[in-house]
Amino acid sequence: MTAMERSTQAAADRSPNGLSLWGEGRRRVILERLQPEVDAGRYPIKRVPGEPVQVEVDAFADGHDVLTCLLRYRKEGSTTWQESPMTLVINDRWRGTFTPTEIGRYQYTVQAWVDHFKTWVHQLHRRVDANQEVSVDLLIGADLVADAAAHASGEAATRLYTYADALRAGDLTAAFAVSLADLMATYAPRRYATMYDRELVVVVDSPLARFSSWYEIFPRSASPEPGRHGTFRDVINRLPYIAELGFDILYLTPIHPIGQTFRKGKDNTPTAQPGEPGSPYAIGSAEGGHLDIHPELGTFEDFRELVRVAREQYGIEIALDNAFQCSPDHPYVREHPDWFRARPDGTIQYAENPPKKYQDIYPFDFESQDWQGLWYELKGYFDYWMAQGVRIFRVDNPHTKSFRFWEWCIGELKTKYPDAIFLSEAFTRPKVMYNLAKLGFTQSYTYFTWRTAKWELTQYMTELTQTEVKDYFRPNFWPNTHDILTPQFYPGHRGTFYARAALAATLAASWGLYGPAYELLEHMPVQGREEYRNNEKYEIRTWNLDDPRSIRGFIAQLNRIRKENVALQRNEGLRFHRVENNFTENDQIIAYSKHSPDLSNIVLVVISLDPVNIQSAWIELPLSDWGLNSPVQMHDLLSDQRYTWNDGFNYVELNPYAMPVHIFRLRRRVRDERGFEFYS
Amino acid sequence: MTAMERSTQAAADRSPNGLSLWGEGRRRVILERLQPEVDAGRYPIKRVPGEPVQVEVDAFADGHDVLTCLLRYRKEGSTTWQESPMTLVINDRWRGTFTPTEIGRYQYTVQAWVDHFKTWVHQLHRRVDANQEVSVDLLIGADLVADAAAHASGEAATRLYTYADALRAGDLTAAFAVSLADLMATYAPRRYATMYDRELVVVVDSPLARFSSWYEIFPRSASPEPGRHGTFRDVINRLPYIAELGFDILYLTPIHPIGQTFRKGKDNTPTAQPGEPGSPYAIGSAEGGHLDIHPELGTFEDFRELVRVAREQYGIEIALDNAFQCSPDHPYVREHPDWFRARPDGTIQYAENPPKKYQDIYPFDFESQDWQGLWYELKGYFDYWMAQGVRIFRVDNPHTKSFRFWEWCIGELKTKYPDAIFLSEAFTRPKVMYNLAKLGFTQSYTYFTWRTAKWELTQYMTELTQTEVKDYFRPNFWPNTHDILTPQFYPGHRGTFYARAALAATLAASWGLYGPAYELLEHMPVQGREEYRNNEKYEIRTWNLDDPRSIRGFIAQLNRIRKENVALQRNEGLRFHRVENNFTENDQIIAYSKHSPDLSNIVLVVISLDPVNIQSAWIELPLSDWGLNSPVQMHDLLSDQRYTWNDGFNYVELNPYAMPVHIFRLRRRVRDERGFEFYS
């Protein structure tokens, strides 16, 4: 076959649009396995301002040329990308970091290309080391530099041409000038660069999304006078108490009118007695629905005053409890019967989990013909209450409402209120809980309440902080809620209340309590159910906040310690420590540390999980891993006692009837200008 | 706020195209984490006809309704999907399987929806169990069935209406009829179904892609007469020998004209002596290039005859060695100087890895201005040789050519020749090797050659068979190649040749040998390099195939055992077994089993890695895991000896100077119609 015949054949084989559809074929770099990336970029990751995004990607090209790899990012809407260098870690894995500074949405992606100048320098070093003749190589370099000069202007162009001339004149030292490398990094054209397939999104939330302490109350129980229905004014009067406890979010159970039909009585009896207040989760009555206030709580003016005073005087945000369900008396039932599922007998389908029936609750039908009207109306709920000053919502059972609705609703709301926070109260299967977080929920309730053994606490925290869920699922740890009183509290051990609160407050950056039940050690369950007896859902309670048994001081200490130690304000940096007796792990004592990124703040928490016996053990203190020398001072921030510990194992003893918790801040030996040594 | 005011606000909040852009909001099922899926569907997975694709996906909806989840698949180009049921495994994970039957490309994806009929049946069971009144529920069911009837026709519609009437008449038994469930599964409309985001592709290759035995030779060394250049006719005469060895692919090193400029001499000396043949990898001379045949090998007619005889008489496919590089004498250098990189001194850039220079080789410049012409020409190489009957190519150093070129080239070729096979000879970093497999290479050389210890063989096989690479990377295990003679062979231990061949042939479904060097125990290296002395790359060798030291009989046994045992024809079903002496793992003996999907064929391989000492140990035989009872007969397919083993640990002893390999087929006790028992 002749050359002519061959090229004829090649031409014949060209499929009509084959290569023009293929784009630029000279892009030689492959970019893949970018992290963090949730479901191939289908969902964003989450951060708060100042929290870095560390990006990794596999980048490689054919052959042995040197690559340049850049992390690109921008605030959504900005037309220009900012760039941050990426460096090769190992095995074609590159890493770079950027830090969003503002609330909102950022995009990020990666760009890489074969860097002919860097390749040339790299190879020139090897040639010179091997004493090879390099005159032609210097000419090649001169061409690369002149090419960059043609893409520069002003002084930079002049300097690049000067370097090109030097190389052309055989000046080897010019090749290795750092300033030439800098100029080339800026001006050399990025020919045939590969962009990563996708631009990814990071949602940057309000700082409270990451580090927050929640306190739940039933506002109707806020009255100090037995028998009187609590009001928003009562809640205002309780703010100093809540501020003293150190919480920054006060969440109110639903504040809307309560239905009469099928109203539940005390302890969830099927029929309410006259005068019983009903469950605030059976929303809607002749007095209104989700956009109205239960009259006995007060007025819209009172509510706005509560939001204002809490925020301005106490630094406390008011969170509302969003429960998208209706009592049979809700105005929607009359105005929008098509938002509910009709039964063949003309009635409306109540909530049920057969054989259980919840006839006081009508769920919305997300397969309604008028699903769009329903979606707009439900989103309107949030707009409406945001207009009253609210920015934080605890969302009741989001997993029983359409997932796509939440994605749309939260997405739309965040464009207008980027600082809004939505806490998902979904206690359900793990993939559903994680998906709600992907869809947009800012924080999520967790399984913490049921994780009581050391092995399961360790395993669960490892899942939350070491796997990809860490980038989108922000756990919020609650020892109790108004719906959940777990069996470990039934005996009423004070030590259990200490231990569970301390675990929640130090394992997770966000935690919450249902109070005043918790600090007042409320612990009597309904027989056979993990639920409080005399539950505030069905009756109005009066709480004696000054009960001498209250652990309010301890709760306040926990929140103060959290505020003073940045190590506790994030979920990263968690490490579990060995707790040994005679080389055997002691499963009754859990020990873990958290540290700030710069290791200037290290907190070691040691908690006994045994409510009845004194426990002792030796705790691993890996000082050398933190770059510290023995000894260090272990300052117990609860008792204010100080101990001197050394690298290795150190002894602790915990009495559950006294205090089953140590929260140690590590203090290292420092020397001042006079030569005096202190622990700091 | 009145209802009117509220709906005005909701209307005002409607962003112009908000919900119309959002699509159908009533789709309630979320589908995510589908497997197998390579890089979010960017690349296909691979199978051969008859090899199942097991698909898993997370599927869940809001609430507690029951889902139906279907696997959909079709041959690419077909307009109709076939469907296969998926079943819930655990924790919202669903699984289904389909089996492509033809060579080509198939698509697959998943569809799921909230199944109101199944939900209704499920809830009805619970209501009935709780003795609840269900008359309204039967009406609800009747509506669902009538709705399906309206979507059916003929007898199915009639039957569905009959069921609807029965339910409406209060006939509870009708609700649970299996035939009703079947009809509903077929005819109930799939309202608001969710399709998985992507349609994924499986490339279905020729069966040889999965299970193949390769044999490499230098055709110029095929002459039985010392001093005479081998020809295609000589290769034809050697086919009976190769067939006796049991190989089904014969791969020839490059058959093209060899360059003169900078021709290499014996043992890679920089300058060839007159009469030395040069390296066949320095392709191109005045006699032609990649589309021509080195004249001393014969004619195109001879070559086509070789391809034909091999295929028709011996069932052997001829594979060509594709090396996209040119000697300085290649016609391309003159005809297409723009396909090479020019140096400022007017010369062409030769291959180099500074300070090493390979002046006999010009690499193509994939950043050429005429990259499109280059791509078409290179693809033309494959078209050209496929027209001569070749379907299999070993590709030399694909990682030094543009990745995007390979993706295009192999993709285009496979549309015309879907049975073509491309073996990637990339010995480089793991991510590059894996990426070439993703881009389209059918099989890949591996690190097997350098994995000699038990722990690393185990770790590597686990990576290849248990991680996602198993879906796109088909390993081909070679104990040697013409480029690689690893140190374990240097002492010339016959046992090492047995052990390494047996490892390759039984660990991987595809393996290959460079012969006759291997079966003739060639083992002398070039000093300081993992390379053969007197390498055929630089000289013509004459091999004495009848040397009494040859292990050709053993190689033939290995290939016969592979053909007779389907367990060895796939990489799935591999399991490593404990090998113990006094409770301690014996690291010198490796034991593993492979089994067919139905467990009818189970092979246990036991190999000593110790070339000089007799090794003995106790091998774990987990009969109960395979559903077998003790005792079984262990039939050594190499020695034809039979042993009786029991569940648990069984003793073996291996002498490297005799035979360091057992390949046992497990034979179980069976009873014939006369009541006589045998091992089968």
CA-nearest residue to A26 within chain B is: B367
- Cβ pair B18:A412 closer than 8 A: yes
Please tell me which of the candidates B13, B33, B91 has its beta carbon nearest to residue A380: B13
CA distance, residue A75 to nearest chain B CA (Å): 22
* Inter-chain touch A354–B405, beta carbons under 8 Å: no
Contacts of A353 in chain B (CB under 8 A): 64
Residue A101, both tokens: 């500074």
Among B17, B26, B143, the strongest candidate for a mutation testing the A interface, having the largest count of A CBs within 10 A, is B26
Q: What pLDDT digit, counting tens, does each position of A200-240 carry? A: 999 999 999 999 999 999 999 999 999 999 999 999 999 99
Instruction: Give the residue from chain A lying closest to B379, CA to CA.
Output: A10
A449 and A470 in a common domain: yes
Q: Could you report the per-residue pLDDT of A166-180, keeping only the tens digit for each?
A: 999 999 999 999 999
* CA-wise closest residue to A439 among A474, A392, A394, A403: A403
State the first-to-last Cα distance of chain A, in angstroms, to the nearest integer: 85
**B138/chain A closest Cα distance in angstroms:** 10
Instruction: Determine whether the interchain pair A15/B412 forms a contact, defined as Cβ–Cβ distance below 8 Å.
Output: yes
Q: What is the mean pLDDT of residues B528-557?
A: 96
Whether residues A462 and A594 share a domain: the answer is no
Inter-chain CB proximity B143 and A344 less than 8 Å: yes
User: Could you say which of A512, A533, A568 is where a domain stops?
Assistant: A568
Clarify whether residues A200 and A171 are in a common domain. no
In this structure, what CATH number is given to the domain that contains residue B370? 3.20.20.80
Look at residue A512 and tell me if it is in a domain: yes
Residues in chain B closer than 8 A to A58 (CB atoms): 431
Residue burial B576-592, b: 16+ Cβ < 10 Å; e: rest = ebebeeeeeebebbbbb
A371–B26 CB contact, under 8 Å: yes
* Pair (A525, A661) in one structural domain: no
Q: Sort out which chain A residues have CB atoms less than 8 A from B42's CB and list them.
A: 32, 197
Average pLDDT, chain B: 95
Mean pLDDT within A560-564: 98
A58 Cβ contact list (under 8 Å, min separation 6):
A30, A31, A32, A33, A92, A93, A94, B431
Find, in chain A, the residue whose alpha carbon is nearest to that of B121: A354
Q: Which two tokens stand for residue B451?
A: 């994995």
Please judge whether A140 and B344 are an interchain contact, meaning their C-beta atoms are less than 8 angstroms apart.
yes
pLDDT at residue A552 greater than cutoff 80:
yes
Q: How many CB pairs below 8 A link A and B?
A: 214
Q: Which residues of A touch B10 (CB under 8 A)?
A: 373, 376-377, 379-380
A177 shares a domain with A46:
no
CB B27 within 8 A of CB B194: yes
What pLDDT, on the 0 to 100 scale, is given for residue A602? 98
Do B40 and B30 fall within a single domain?
A: yes
Which chain B residues are within 8 Å of A128, Cβ to Cβ? none
pLDDT of B18: 65
Structural domain ending residue among the three candidates B512, B547, B568: B568
Interatomic CA distance for residues A647 and B38, integer angstroms: 46
Domain that holds residue A123: 116-187
| A333 is a domain residue | no
**Interface with A, mutate which of B62, B330, B345, B417 (most A CBs under 10 A):** B62
Residue at B469 is within a domain: yes
* Annotated binding-site residue? A416: no
Cβ of B19 within 8 Å of Cβ of A343? The answer is: no
Q: Which residues of B touch A143 (CB under 8 A)?
A: 344
- Asked whether residue B236 falls in the same domain as residue B373, the answer is yes
CATH of the domain at B161: 1.20.58.80
Contact predicate A361/A282, CB 8 Å: yes
Q: What value, to the nearest 5°, has the Cα angle with vertex A629 and ends A623 and A632?
A: 75
Identity of the residue in A22, A143, A400 whose CB atom sits nearest the CB atom of B344 = A143
Are the C-beta atoms of residues B220 and B540 closer than 8 Å to each other? yes
Average pLDDT over residues B135-164: 97
Same domain for B618 and B559: no
Do the Cβ atoms of A404 and B22 come within 8 Å? yes
CATH number at residue B81: 2.60.40.10
Q: Is A594 annotated as a binding residue?
A: no
The DSSP secondary-structure symbol of B376 reads H
Inter-chain touch B431–A127, beta carbons under 8 Å: no
Q: Would you call A62 and B367 a contact, using CB atoms and an 8 Å cutoff?
A: no
The percent helix, strand, coil of chain A (3-state, each to 5) is: 30, 25, 40
Task: Kindly state whether residue B85 falls inside one of the protein's structural domains.
Answer: yes
Q: Check A376 against B13: CB less than 8 A apart.
A: yes
Give B73 to chain A, closest Cα distance, Å.
Answer: 22
pLDDT in tens, A386-441: 999 999 999 999 999 999 999 999 999 999 999 999 999 999 999 999 999 999 99
**Six-digit token string for A155:** 């002084």
Q: Which of B5, B13, B116 to mutate to test the interface with A (most CBs of A within 10 A)?
A: B13
Same domain for B238 and B144: no
Given B147, B205, B425, B610, which residue is catalytic? B425
**Average model confidence (pLDDT) for chain A?**
95
Tell me if B319 is assigned to some domain. yes
Domain count, chain B: 4
Residues B432-456: tens digit of each pLDDT:
999 999 999 999 999 999 999 999 9
Task: Return the active site residues of A.
Answer: 396, 425
Residue B126 has pLDDT above 80, yes or no: yes
B207 cis-preceded (ω within 30 degrees of 0): no
Judge if B64 and B157 occupy the same domain.
Answer: no
For residue A95, the cross-strand partners are A56, A87
What residues in B contact A113, CB-CB < 8 Å?
none
Mutation pick from A26, A330, A467 vs chain B, by most beta carbons of B within 10 Å, is A26
DSSP state of B348: B
Distance from CA of A317 to the nearest CA of B (A): 24
Give the one of B126, B192, B383 whose C-beta lies nearest to A13's C-beta. B383
Residues of A in contact with B126 (CB under 8 A): 354-355
Chain segment A628-646, per-residue pLDDT in tens: 999 999 999 999 999 999 9
pLDDT for position A20: 73
- Is A19 in contact with B344 (Cβ distance < 8 A)? no
Task: Identify the band that residue A8 occupies on the pLDDT scale cut at 50, 70 and 90.
Answer: very low
Q: How far is A399 from chain B (nearest CA, A)?
A: 5
DSSP per-residue letters across A118-185: HHHHHHHHHHHHTT---HHHHHHHHHHHHHHHHT--HHHHHHHHHHHHHHHTT-HHHHT-HHHHHHHH
On the CB side of B324, CA atoms within 13 Å amount to 25
Amino acid (1-letter code) at residue B506: T
- Domain end marker among B204, B237, B264: B204
Looking at chain B, which residue has its C-alpha nearest residue A293? B1
The proportion of chain A whose per-residue pLDDT surpasses 70, expressed as a percent, equals: 97
Verify whether residue B522 is a known catalytic residue: no
Cis peptide leading into residue A355 (ω within 30°): yes
- Banded model confidence at residue B16, pLDDT cuts 50, 70, 90: very low
What pLDDT band is residue B19 in, cutting at 50, 70 and 90?
confident
Backbone angles phi, psi at B123, to 5 degrees: -70, -35
Contact assignment for B143 to A343 by CB distance below 8 Å: no
Mark yes or no for CB contact A10/B373 under 8 Å: yes
pTM of the predicted structure, to 2 decimals: 0.94
- DSSP-derived pairing of the beta strands B249-252 and B317-322: parallel
Instruction: Answer yes or no: is pLDDT of B339 > 70.
Output: yes
Specify if B537 maps to a domain.
yes
Q: Report the distance separating Cα B619 and Cα B614, nearest Å.
A: 16
Residue B673 maps to a domain: no
Residues of B in contact with A371 (CB under 8 A): 25-26
In this complex, do A6 and B291 lie within 8 Å of one another by their Cβ atoms?
yes
Type of residue at A114: V
- The answer on A530 and A397 residing in a single domain is yes
Is A447 part of any known ligand binding site? no
Residue with tokens 């919840």: A358
Annotated binding residue B325: yes
Is A264 labelled a binding residue?
Answer: yes
Task: Label residue A12 by pLDDT band (50, 70, 90).
Answer: very low
pLDDT score of A565 more than 60: yes
Q: Is the pLDDT of residue A268 over 70?
A: yes
Which residues are registered as beta bridge partners of B342? Answer: B348
Is A454 assigned a ligand-binding role in the annotation? no
Q: A543 and A475: one domain?
A: yes
Whether the complex's predicted ipTM is more than 0.90 is answered with yes
- Taking the CA of residue A537 and the nearest CA in chain B, the distance in Å comes to 23
- The active-site residue, picked from B51, B216, B396, B471, is B396
> Is residue A680 in a domain?
no
- B32: nearest CB among A39, A331, A344: A39
pLDDT tens digits, A290-322: 999 999 999 999 999 999 999 999 999 999 999
Closest CA–CA distance from residue B124 to any residue of chain A (Å):
8
Closest CA–CA distance from residue B354 to any residue of chain A (Å) = 6
